[in-house]
Amino acid sequence: MRALIAVAFVATLIAPVAAQAPAVTLKVGDQAPDFTLQASDGKTYSLADYRGKKAVVVAWFPKAFTAGCTLECKSLAANGARLRKYDVAYFMASVDPIDENTRFGQSEKADFPLLSDTDKSVAARYGVLSARGMANRWTFYIDRNGRIAYIDRAVNPETSAEDILARLGQLKVATVN
């Protein structure tokens, strides 16, 4: 009986922690989960469209119009010309509605698409969905073959673009002329 009580007690301690952990834990070398999502530019983007053609960066962010997310968006927008020197498609992505991401992108003069995963299914497959129902601020680097080349789980919103540029160089992503 004591053993059952002890197991039940431990289970009640572990359950909240387990509920907060991502259901999926992707790692470098894994095939990146495919997605097809609406974007702030009115288009729909699919990861499969880039396979065999170019690398992809998906910068997940928690919530449009919040302080950190605004800093991150501004960083990417301010460095668009430098980012486009690499043969890479890059996006910010959240679980916010498309109209909110569109307004957010316009307000920050984003020259790149912001993806909306309103049903949270892609965020769940990437393991970024937090217990609060928002995406964690993680950036995924996906190679030309659709495999995860790097995952940044410690994104600094203020230097996001500079950090992405450095990582693209480290990953030897091709540049365009």
State the residue for tokens 């995860």: 148
**In angstroms, what CA-CA distances link 37 with 44, 91, 106, 116, 138?**
5, 11, 18, 6, 18
Residue from 32, 56, 69, 129 carrying the catalytic annotation: 69
d(CA 95, CA 74): 19
Pull the structure tokens for residue 126. Answer: 């990437």
Q: How far is CA 59 from the centre of its chain?
A: 4
Q: Is 73 a catalytic residue?
A: no
Give the H or E element holding residue 75: helix 67-78
State the residue for tokens 């053993």: 3
Residue numbers annotated as active site: 69
